[in-house]
Structure 1
Amino acid sequence: MSLLGLERARLGWWVLGLALGGALVFVVHAFVGTFVFGVFLYYATRPIYRRLRRRIRPPSLAAAVSLFALALPALLLVLYAFAIVIQQAVRYTNSGLFDLSQYPIDQELLDAITDPERLLELDLSSYLSAEVIGQLTQSLSSAVDTIAFFGVGAVHLFVMIALAFYLLRDDRRLTDWAVSTFGDGRGVVLAYGTAVDHDLKAIFFGNILNAVLTGTIGVIAYTVLNVFAPASQVSIPAAALVGLLAGVASIIPVVGMKLVYVPVALYMAVVTFFVDPQLLWFVLVFVAVSFVVVDTIPDLVLRPYVSGRSLHVGSVMIAYTFGPLLFGWYGIFLMPMLLVLVFHFARIVLPELVRGEDIRPFAVDPGVEASVPAVASPEPPVSADGEGPTAHDASGDETEPASEKRDERDRSDGTDERD
């Protein structure tokens, strides 16, 4: 084949590659929130998976158990909430609220309901007017829309869990492919990816830690506040549950916790208004404590420290603040990802590009260099149990001995495993 023919063939493959890349970008853009939250689940469960994988085989089972371990506290919280609801329902039942004997029923109405002949005498055409049919159709349409909404939500949830599952199980293969495809032999791609992976793990796992700390603050604040409640009717209902739900909702900042304490405040305001309007001051105190102590302080002060310890605290705070405002609910995960990618590009790659020099991996900080094979010591680290060299993942996490790791791999291309 002539040189012109080879160039045309290469151009055709580039056109096909760009078309496929554009299609992939379109899909990711359409479901960007789903993919971003799936990545968050991956980083949130990866520390658990790294430890369970040593004891649970195969890796697919370890990944499934890790995801369940992350979801177990949320499941227990939902069960606790249902227990509170059932307890309240039993209390109202025992108080006689649902006792039908307290509600007198007219004898004529009872006869009309129980007498078949009188039911047949009813003129059903008066109940099948166009207005009634329109209202019925509108109600059915609303019901279908509600079912479709929950169905689409279930599909998105399935995709998030599936993405996190396969990233946990096959992240090493993805890393190897990226390094072998885009690597230049100097370890630059691996150095950049290691730095990004390290900070993403700190940020996303820090979100879980922030939720735990915020929930603890909420439980303590609401329990103490209930001690000063002027009456039992106007106290915070299920203070511990409200605090835990606030902690879970803190994963979505700016708006998340307001979905918990605002409805609770409205409920308390309505109850207090009918009991004693002069006690509305306690509702205002509850709103102030929720906004300042439980919402603002952890979100703007605590979160940057637990989520981005290797990054500038101000930049992490700005990312968490403007992310949801720019992108919506998933901006809490997307904006920190962009911050990490831009920060390490400017730190590792950009200086070499500006100076026109070769990009070298030793631009990475010494603390990160230890986990980068391109600059690591030729002497492999020894595992704690003395069985042999210990493998490290892209984030520097210690995994099982390299000899066991090689047995897991299903590739047989003879490529040496990185220590």
Structure 2
Amino acid sequence: MDVSRGFMLVVIGALGALSLAIAWPFLQYVLLAVLIAYLLAPVYERLEPRIGGTGAALALMVAATGALILPFAAMVAFVGNDAVDLAQRLSDSQVDLGGLEAAIERATGQEVDLPAALGAAAENFAGVFLGSAPDLVGAFTHTLLGIALAAFMLFFFLRDGRRLVDWLFEVTPLPDRVLSDLATRIDDLMWAVLVGHVLVSTIQGFLAGIGLFATGIPNAAFWTLAMVLLALLPIVGAFLVWGPAAAWLVLAGSPVAGGALFVYGAVVVSLSDNYLRPILVDRRARLSPATIMLGVVGGLYLLGVMGLFFGPVIVGAFKVAVETFDEHYVDR
């Protein structure tokens, strides 16, 4: 490698690192724009011949922004208030958890203060949605800038996405057959994870939420959203909420409601996961539940909320890259 070539690579690496540092404060919104653009790409391809690339991208940007922001704002207010109410109820000891505390103490030999622990968790959850008073203005400004950036980038990802992909193919130093194979596999992976995995989790969380509402669990909206997020974790998922909720109903003196919730969760909620996930996710992604769980948990820590969606894609893409290398570059 000559000096000029090495120097140019150093410049590219330094500028790439600086670009990542600039984008990092708004990385969640950039990833959100990538996610929405990927999902809307088939719709854009149908609209583009009729109203032009700019018109199609603008129409989809406006529709997606309105369809996502308004429901999201309503959800934040509703679930955030529900979380605050739950924290207050637990702090004021309006919820009797004495029976469950006694059962835990008998089983483990350790004393627990469930109202305090759950109240603190609910307050932290509310803080994620509503923010704290000193940071409220800053958080609101950051959110507005992020939404504007996401909408702006969504427009250009839709309109110029094909050119961006073609450019990546052109500058990537791999043979066309390898690139084509890699792109096809990653596309299948992304569609399975971003559409199937998220769709299954949402259905499972809302089905479990119906059971909570029907059996009179307090603050059911709060717990429904929690189950939608927990359902992203394979196997355990929403059971982490509806299982203890059924036990709480039994210990609180409502064994029929508790038993009904447990049967509903075991049959309807669990079967929805067992049937839908293999159809929508496993068949195309070919990822084990362990890989998806690692991607979800690790992605959440590394990338924040959007890591719930992109974490499994990144881990799965590593598997795809290894398989592609094995097929095209390993002599047998």
Match of 1:306 among 275, 280, 283: 280
Structure 1 distance, partners of 2:277, 2:139, is 32
Using the size of structure 2 for normalisation, the TM-score is 0.60
1:253 counterpart SS class: coil
Aligned to 2:318: 342
Tell me if 1:253 matches 2:228: no
| Cα displacement (A) at 1:339 | 3.5
Tell me if 1:180 matches 2:170: yes
Structure 2 distance, partners of 1:309, 1:190, is 20
Aligned to 1:49: 44
Pairs aligned (count): 273
| Cα displacement (A) at 1:180 | 1.9
Structure 1 distance, partners of 2:267, 2:64, is 26
1:310 counterpart SS class: helix
Change over 3 Å in CA distance of 1:251–1:347 after alignment to 2: same
Change over 3 Å in CA distance of 1:297–1:150 after alignment to 2: farther
Q: Which runs of 5+ in 2 are unaligned?
A: 80-130
Aligned to 1:412: none
Match of 2:14 among 9, 19, 30: 19
Q: Check conservation: 2:188, 2:284, Cα contact below 8 A.
A: no
Match of 1:192 among 178, 182, 185: 182
1:302 alignment partner AA: L
| Cα displacement (A) at 1:198 | 3.3
Q: Check conservation: 2:295, 2:314, Cα contact below 8 A.
A: no
Aligned to 1:405: none
2:280 alignment partner AA: V
2:283 counterpart SS class: coil
1:394-405 residue pairs with structure 2 within 5 A?
none
Match of 2:211 among 214, 217, 222: 222
Aligned to 1:319: 291
Please say which structure displays the higher CA radius of gyration: 1
| Cα displacement (A) at 1:145 | 1.2
Q: Check conservation: 2:206, 2:228, Cα contact below 8 A.
A: no
Using the size of structure 1 for normalisation, the TM-score is 0.50
Q: Which runs of 5+ in 1 are unaligned?
A: 1-5, 86-140, 230-234, 357-419
Q: Check conservation: 1:183, 1:189, Cα contact below 8 A.
A: no
Q: Check conservation: 1:60, 1:169, Cα contact below 8 A.
A: yes
Structure 2 distance, partners of 1:292, 1:330, is 29
Q: Check conservation: 1:207, 1:251, Cα contact below 8 A.
A: no
| Cα displacement (A) at 1:192 | 1.7
Structure 1 distance, partners of 2:34, 2:27, is 11
1:61-76 residue pairs with structure 2 within 5 A?
61-70=55-64
Q: Check conservation: 1:52, 1:66, Cα contact below 8 A.
A: no
Bigger shift: 35-44 or 170-179? 35-44
Higher helix share: 2
1:173 alignment partner AA: R
Structure 2 distance, partners of 1:50, 1:243, is 38
Match of 2:142 among 126, 133, 152: 152
| Cα displacement (A) at 1:51 | 2.2
RMSD, matched Cα: 4.9
